[in-house]
Amino acid sequence: MPGDRSVSNVLRNMLQHGDLSFRDFMEVALYHPELGYYSRSESPVGRNADYVTSPMISPVFVDSLGGLISEFLSRAGDAVCSVVDIGCGDGSLIHSLYAAAAPSFREKARFYGVDRSLDRVLPGEGVAFARQLDAVPRGEVQLVISNELFDALPFARLVMRDEHLHELWIAERDAGFDWVEHEAEPRYDDYFAERDIDLRDGQFADVSLEWEATYDDVCRFVSRGLIVTFDYGHPERQLFHGSARRFGTAAAYSRQRVSRDLLANPGEQDLTAHINFSDLQRAGERRGLETLFFDRQAKFLLALGAGSHHLLAPLDDLQVSSVVEALQLREQREDARRLVLPDGIGEDIRVLVQGRGMGQGGWGFQRKLF
């Protein structure tokens, strides 16, 4: 309906004044303050929602990360610590990490969730929430975790045509939305030139200039501590590979299904692209942080001891007293395996850990597995 308050109508009104870049379309679709996908009060993350993330798949994730927090707090000694989950969504991960922390650690650490939208945050004790990182007290040492924050930042869709970089914009057509190509803004030409990356003719690439800027904010927050980033992404040579990723990585998620129709139902589906981990790594190193780990999530969790969780223990070691219990256990075991097996989320998500002033070696996540 033309007068309805909906993301589509907001976008249509904006398009009266001219085409919109996909980046700005995505900003409105996901983050319009009242109507955007991430501004709604119901969480899009969950088994009955649009997509699932690692903390929700299995308690093995929280358990392993809990081990890292204990190690971190032990190394911090008597210092007052801030443990922050940025892009925390409904806050379930940071609530669970607080709940799993030993009482002595709860006394010396403060737990915080940060998200652009706080309307979905679940109630619970012991965790404070803020919309921006700079509103969080830093304490003396900081541990900043994020899970799938960077892949939710608005990005530009770019395509190479006859040695000229074009950017995909949106126009209104027949009351719907359609793609149009404009010459790319010079900052995107600069992005590839600075990285010495040549896209092939007809190759698409999805780039957010906010990956680096947002990570830089996190680096400035950490005076002494660790930044642990879980996300879908690759180093730049792989991310912008001419044949492996000729069509870019942009995708839409709705009801556990992936689609390439990024313009359908704005505000009703998630939009995401794989991130350039090299941008984050360089930004951290420029700010004086050391890279302590960069690899697949499966390796990270296994090094932290995920393999000893009872859900990943050999079947013979498990006791069940009924068929129902056995069936539930089988499901939980399959979920746990998704986090660490080579064909699941454990393979697709990468983890970058950078640190400052906490020691470069001897961390649990750096343990050699074989």
Ligand X SMILES: C[S@@+](CC[C@H](N)C(=O)[O-])C[C@H]1O[C@@H](n2cnc3c(N)ncnc32)[C@H](O)[C@@H]1O
Host H or E run for residue 15: helix 7-15
Q: Does 62 bind ligand X (CB under 6 A)?
A: no
| Binding segment toward ligand X, per CB under 6 A, in 82-90, 188-196, 274-282, 345-353 | 82-90
Member of 64, 147, 208, 281 binding ligand X (CB under 6 A): 147
* 304 in contact with ligand X (CB under 6 A): no
Nearest approach, Cβ of 297 to ligand X (angstroms)? 12
**Closer to ligand X by Cβ: residue 55 or 267:** 55
Q: Strand (E) positions, the chain?
A: 20-21, 81-86, 109-114, 127-130, 141-147, 156-161, 164-173, 176-183, 204-207, 225-234, 251-254, 257-259, 270-272, 275-276, 290-296, 349-356
Q: Which is nearer to ligand X, 31 or 188 (CB)?
A: 31
- CB 296, min distance to ligand X, A: 17
Residue 40 sits in the site that holds ligand X (CB under 6 A) = no
Asked if 205 and 45 touch (Cβ cutoff 8 Å), the reply is no
By CB under 6 A, name the one of 57, 94, 114, 219 that touches ligand X.
114
Q: Which of 10, 11, 25, 38 binds ligand X (CB under 6 A)?
A: 38
Contacts 24+ apart (CB under 8 A), 171-178: 171/15, 171/19, 172/12, 172/15, 176/263, 177/11, 177/15, 177/25, 177/263, 177/266, 178/263
Secondary structure (DSSP) of 175-229: TEEEEEEEEPPHHHHHHHHHTT--PPTT-EEEE-THHHHHHHHHHHH-SSEEEEE
User: Please, which residue, 37 or 240, has the CB nearer to ligand X?
Assistant: 37
Task: Please check whether residue 131 is in contact with residue 115, taking contact to mean a CB–CB distance below 8 angstroms.
Answer: yes
In angstroms, the CA 350 to CA 95 distance is: 23
Contact in structure between 261 and 312 (CB atoms under 8 Å)? no
- Should residue 152 be labelled a site residue for ligand X when binding is judged by CB under 6 A? yes
Task: Please identify, using beta-carbon distances, which residue of 39 and 354 lies nearer to ligand X.
Answer: 39
Given candidates 109, 149, 170, 312, which one binds ligand X under the rule CB under 6 A? 149
Q: Does 45 bind ligand X (CB under 6 A)?
A: yes
Instruction: Report the distance separating Cα 120 and Cα 48, nearest Å.
Output: 16
CA 140, CA 136: separation in Å to the nearest integer? 12
At closest approach, how far in Å is the CB of 132 from ligand X? 7
Residues in contact with 64: Cβ distance below 8 Å, sequence separation at least 6, in sequence order? 300, 301, 304, 305, 306, 309
The stretch among 18-26, 86-94, 103-111, 241-249 that binds ligand X (CB under 6 A) is 86-94
Contact track, ligand X, 325-364, x by CB under 6 A: ----------------------------------------
How many residues touch ligand X under the rule CB under 6 A: the total is: 18
String marking each residue 153-192 x if it binds ligand X according to CB under 6 A: x---------------------------------------
Residue 231 lies near ligand X (rule: CB under 6 A)? no
Distance CA 336, CA 57 (A): 7
Taking the least distance from each CB to ligand X, the nearer of 124 and 242 is 124
Asked if 236 touches ligand X (CB under 6 A), the answer is no
Question: Do residues 363 and 291 lie in contact, with contact meaning Cβ atoms separated by under 8 Å?
Answer: no
Reduced to 3 states (helix: H, G, I; strand: E, B; else coil), residue 266 is coil
Nearer to ligand X, 97 or 199 (CB): 97
Q: Does 271 bind ligand X (CB under 6 A)?
A: no
Letters for 187-216 (x = contact with ligand X by CB under 6 A, - = none) are ---------------------------x--
Site of interaction with ligand X (CB under 6 A): 38, 45, 53, 55, 86-89, 114-117, 147-149, 152-153, 214
